[in-house]
Structure 1
């Protein structure tokens, strides 16, 4: 004998609107007679089938996500716009066991308007690289975009079947902090935006770092609801963690050499720098992660060196060098300039550079590259700068022939200076006076050149000068000005010391090929100037 229908069942049978009930996986478990009257489908034929079978294929994703408006297939084969707001029913463990709602055919809104609304919604979701969600207290997610399956492996149904699903899949080490933030949002008294970062356990067991951009919406007489966007930031977090591991792994080695290390993701333009890197440039206590890698570096580099530094690493990225190493003047946090060496190597994928890493050295602490007595760069830095100048000049000449090279900005000149009577100063007044003489010579040389030029101490009383963006006539004038400045007597303590200089000059006009070619030519001219007491002698290819 069949069971007597309950009063509530009698009421549902009499309702003129179609009542639909499904289980957690969309299988239809109840339909009242109005279903047949509205859709034309017999109730018996629909029970036990998935509701999604009756939904337009293009609307299945939006219905699963929580959108109540979609197209339903009627018995005549036509799809018509309906509204079905499904309300979940949970068991004692707060797991969704069924959904029920009232199905209404929409007649007030034209189909064209609905299509446009739906298409705009779908286009919006497709452009967002993350999971759009909405949640309410006690209900869980009322909306979830389909990207959840691509990012985390869970279907929309799996995620929405249990109000506790999110909490159950946050990494245990991050759960306590995440729950404090989540509970505060559910109990908030006003609307506000907030952000969370945490790890989520994906269906595969993989740990995914999530950045959750959220907003709590507080409205009168309604439970608090939250809307948000979950973004996968695993790659960025792994880079940060790898840098930390690398920093720890190489801390002893870098402490011994006093170098800082850096790692630059060229795809995201995020640069990570170690604590020692920041110490070298006087930026202690700031974040070690810098969005906009070149923007961060550019602020550190003296404006006159920026183009040369950028050209050095780009030359490597273009495949012309196996690595790069460049010396430049960096702004220290104290306001002074310090000479540093920046070097590194790139990682390529499919012929495209995706990452660079390397080290930063304080040249004042590397005796072979920096002269502590005169506070000038040494031989390695001078050779590096000269190599760069030669390459630039050669490239410009190759692109446009001799005329562009002559008229362009890549012409340069090399000066080799040797002090006159320096040995006599040491023998007569002592080495301490000789050292002070070298220091004063260094300061006069710096005062005689332009900001972008380079003065270096090569050894003993020999100095080199690299003049860039200068034609041969201007270079010769500058050399004569230097000779005149160095000939002025020096006041060292109670002593007055006279010591001029012999200067050899060679210009890029000579067309020499290598660093050593230029240095030998300038050295030859310098000895000619010294032997003939000329002060300045310009190297000539015809005389060589």
Structure 2
């Protein structure tokens, strides 16, 4: 399988992920009135349940607002939300199904997500959407782990069931909102009817203030307008004493004012907090006016205007002022003033410390000449600073600039300052002073440099990345003039084997060793970049072609040295393609393409070598692309055919089955070898539909045989990597009516190392329905007896290379060992490629149970195979 670089999704890419009904979805979310509400036991309990049920460190109830992700409930995470552009749940709400990311580090959507590369270092994620109604997904119930992990369909269903419980609780909020709206509508209708009773009531109900009347003796409320009833609630009875509605902190003050007003029969006005029907207190401006008749107060008319927002604004303004002062202190900002008339700079204590100047004892500021201030600015920065100052003086405006000053603690690393200033004129309109603020931005500058480095370098090898490679090569070609340049594209041989057998950690270590060896080999003569996976590129400015070839040999020799990875020692190789400018192109993409073509040719030539681009390589690539096109066309037209080669039992010479072999009779090329078209089919994925067709065709043909023999079908590793293999097998059996135990699937050893656990699990499922499993070409790949122990194969097929050398004692010993293992495990042993009587005799002596090869029959058309079966006279062992 060919490694492919992971695509990088930017925050902008992810920010564009929005459901088509986003406006409706947000409206539904906000109608719930749940955002930023306090924790609730039912949501917290669901989170804890999910955390325990799935054994994950983190479980969240996440709601997706327009620009943020807010957690209504969370376990294992301190933050109450994130920005929406990094939220995994932003993907979850795009569909009704559970979203499962088994390894975020290897997922194109999330590999560069800051929640993956940084805290909390998400590697596994599963999220079930919270579906308020059809198409309206307001958030998700999700679980998170810091390690990659598998997630079964059953687990996904369990997570979806828990999400339904969350949704049910959300619908309670939905019902509450609807009830409030209905209640408000009914209340407005009732108020409108009552307002029609009298002109006075209509006027009073239209006022924003609460209006009521109070009897002077009993001090109970009589009339209450709509605002009053709304604030205190319709259910409150008349007769409540006025001070019972006051804030406990205001009761004494308001009671005193009321008693004084009653005694003096004078109106009064004050500010106080009144308790609303829901228990909340809000500030009001309260006015009480006595209504008199014949000099006696018969009633008190009260009004209360809600001024809570005004009080809140005043408090906020005060808090903002305090915050600004504290922020200035926390940011360690220094204040300075430059008197232009005498060129003296006055520094606050913080500014003095920034400039490494000791503040005199007892002084709250210090003065230094402008020349001394300039002397502390880095000489490379001073011209830019002074140009900005002169511009601000001319424009009578503000300025901002950044500059470096000396750092006595680390002289080689000066500190960075950012200075803001404003010019002030004197009474004549001439510039006289400049006042400003200065802050230390050294940490920010260091972070910016680090970010710039990360953005331009591969985080594993610290080599320049693809973007830097492209820009460097573009500049090199633009400046080429009369000096040549070379581009080397390099790909590691056998890297995938190390990565698959020893793990990704070992693969990462190997890539770091390769990067170091490339640096040592190239030195300062060129630029090395990692383009992705195990692909590297080297730009060699001013290098002749013969020198580039010498560099390639050096690189191949360096990489070919043994590499120690912990307790393991591995040896890999390198294939190198060389393109030379100007003769091979002066455009980045063209030169890179030519170097890639040369690399492709080097790998095809046996690897661990280099090739220089030639024009014929374009033609070879075009021929390969034409063959790929013809393959897709042949698949649509049904031009592929199956031939069948018999498999014979050594004990009785009877036919045990046939192996289905794919053939392609090309209309112009003639018969195309499987060795030529199968690799292209696997690379393009066409092997999946071709494989499904082969399964169905072979099973249909086998169902028509006059004998109860088995049909063997080869299955590619690509078919295991893509979904649908098990469904294809089941469909082929169902359509043909063939018994499952007559179908035999042949797999190769190389498949087992790619994802052994997943492959073995799939094989067990296929075995459970009766299908037989054979291990093909045993001994040619990455043979491991552990595979035979972990999965009981029905058959082991010994590769034809052993049969061809069967007269060699070592080859015989190996075959006998495999036969012995097969006998112990109850596994049939088939010898492939038997072509001579001598080979037949020897494989018989070693104990093989079945044979296959030209001696017994070449691959046959379906008609020939049927005739062969009817004859039932295969060649028997001597």
Pairwise TM-score range, normalised by the shorter structure: 0.3 to 0.5
Task: Specify which structure has the higher proportion of strand.
Answer: 1
Higher RCO structure (Cα 8 Å, ≥6 apart):
1
